[in-house]
């Protein structure tokens, strides 16, 4: 990663307090995976605290979602809690995303990682929320949409062609019920971004700060990413490699927008094809499909690496979270020291007055 000055496109307001603005020639590019170490407030245990509180909020939100989905399922279908709970233990084979309840359980549960992470970070207050999004000063919509176009061409289109033409699954019939399609369109992107926040954001940056070697962090977080998905062995290996490709993409792209774009394009395509009967999402993945998926993810990551070296897409920063946050902390320290010195001087003046 180079370390050249980049363009400033904005300022920063942290915790409701206007920060010291950093001049254009002072902003430097930062490695995204090891970014946490750029903050003076960083301590090795703070990511652990953030993960702890994240887990608490994540479990809480998932319990709420499960209870709400269960109540909705009971009212819509007239089913019972026993059959609903049995649906939770079927992996990808029985939950489905063609109805609101299935979308809530499959996608909404992971989308809750976004507010869970927000509350956890707010408690620990290690550094700005935007520093988890990217090392370029928060979420870049322009970068996201450009990468999403690439992902649609590299991932969504080939996957559709592969299933529809090559495998001969040419029957198109909607299986969406009770506004399930609308729930899917809203929740799928949030589910993907939630997973990216957790694995490429929180976990990746924590491991990167500990080991100081991005490759190690990317591989370890990819292992956790694969463990989250209930596939067979072939599917687990494919997801592991995909997790590495997503990690490399966020590393060279310096942010979650890059990996989120691929994640959204891939998942949305899979869920839509499942909903329209072109293909079926399940826990058993065959080798041919796994290899095809891995090739797509590697190609996308390769394109991002190429763009990193050949363009300035990922070099333009809105602001520098680290410098602004550190300047804020330094200002607080100076203010505290000034108050302490003023009190000391006041006490000394009183002593001298009494002595006179």
Element (H, E) at 157: helix 157-161
With cut-offs at 50, 70 and 90, classify the pLDDT of residue 149: very high
Look up residue 5 and give its DSSP letter.
B
Of 328, 319, 325, 329, nearest in space to 28 by CA: 319
| CA–CA separation, 55 and 83 (whole Å) | 27
* CB 102, CB 95: distance < 8 Å: yes
10 Å CB burial of residue 303 (0-12, 13-18, 19+) is: middle
Query: Helices 214-228 and 233-253: crossing angle, nearest 10°?
Result: 140
Question: pLDDT digits over 177-221, tens only?
Answer: 888 999 999 999 999 999 999 999 999 999 999 999 999 999 999
| CA–CA separation, 157 and 152 (whole Å) | 6
| CA–CA separation, 59 and 120 (whole Å) | 12
With cut-offs at 50, 70 and 90, classify the pLDDT of residue 15: very low
> Which pLDDT does position 25 carry in this prediction?
42
Question: pLDDT digits over 220-264, tens only?
Answer: 999 999 998 889 999 999 999 999 999 999 999 999 999 999 999
Q: What residues form DSSP beta bridges with 5?
A: 28
Structure pTM? 0.87
Q: What residues form DSSP beta bridges with 28?
A: 5
| CA–CA separation, 203 and 196 (whole Å) | 10
Of 224, 274, 235, nearest in space to 94 by CA: 274
* Of the candidate ranges 40-44, 87-91, 123-127, the one whose mean pLDDT is the lowest: 87-91
| CA–CA separation, 12 and 138 (whole Å) | 10
Q: How many other CB atoms are found less than 10 A from the CB of residue 325?
A: 24
| CA–CA separation, 203 and 218 (whole Å) | 9
* CB 250, CB 259: distance < 8 Å: yes
């Amino acid at each position: 990663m180079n370390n050249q000055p980049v363009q400033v496109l904005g300022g920063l307001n942290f915790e409701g307090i206007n920060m010291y603005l950093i001049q254009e020639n002072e902003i430097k590019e930062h490695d995204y995976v090891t970014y946490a170490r750029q903050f003076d407030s960083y301590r090795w245990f703070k990511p652990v605290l953030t993960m702890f509180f994240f887990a608490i909020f994540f479990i809480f939100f998932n319990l709420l979602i499960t209870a709400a989905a269960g109540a909705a399922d009971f009212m819509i279908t007239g089913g019972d809690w026993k059959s609903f709970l049995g649906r939770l233990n079927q992996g990808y084979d029985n939950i489905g995303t063609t109805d609101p309840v299935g979308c809530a359980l499959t996608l909404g549960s992971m989308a809750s990682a976004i507010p869970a992470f927000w509350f956890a970070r707010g408690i620990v207050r290690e550094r700005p929320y935007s520093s988890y999004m990217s090392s370029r000063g928060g979420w870049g919509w322009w970068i996201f949409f450009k990468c999403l176009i690439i992902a649609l061409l590299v991932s969504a289109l080939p996957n559709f062609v592969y299933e529809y033409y090559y495998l001969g699954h040419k029957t198109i019939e909607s299986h969406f019920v009770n506004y399930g399609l609308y729930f899917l369109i809203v929740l799928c992107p949030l589910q993907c971004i939630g997973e990216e926040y957790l694995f490429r954001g929180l976990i990746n940056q924590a491991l990167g700060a500990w080991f100081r070697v991005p490759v190690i962090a990317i591989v370890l977080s990819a292992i956790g990413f694969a463990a989250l998905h209930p596939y067979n062995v072939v599917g687990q290996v494919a997801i592991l490699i995909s997790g590495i490709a997503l990690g490399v993409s966020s590393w060279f792209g310096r942010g979650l927008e890059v990996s989120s774009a691929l994640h959204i394009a891939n998942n949305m395509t899979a869920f839509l094809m499942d909903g329209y009967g072109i293909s079926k999402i399940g826990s058993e993945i065959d080798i041919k499909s796994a290899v095809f998926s891995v090739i797509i993810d590697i190609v996308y990551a390769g394109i991002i690496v190429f763009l990193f070296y050949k363009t300035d897409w990922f070099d333009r920063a809105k602001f520098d979270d680290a410098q602004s946050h550190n300047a804020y902390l330094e200002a607080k320290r100076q203010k505290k020291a000034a108050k302490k010195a003023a009190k000391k001087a006041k006490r000394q003046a009183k002593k001298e007055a009494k002595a006179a």
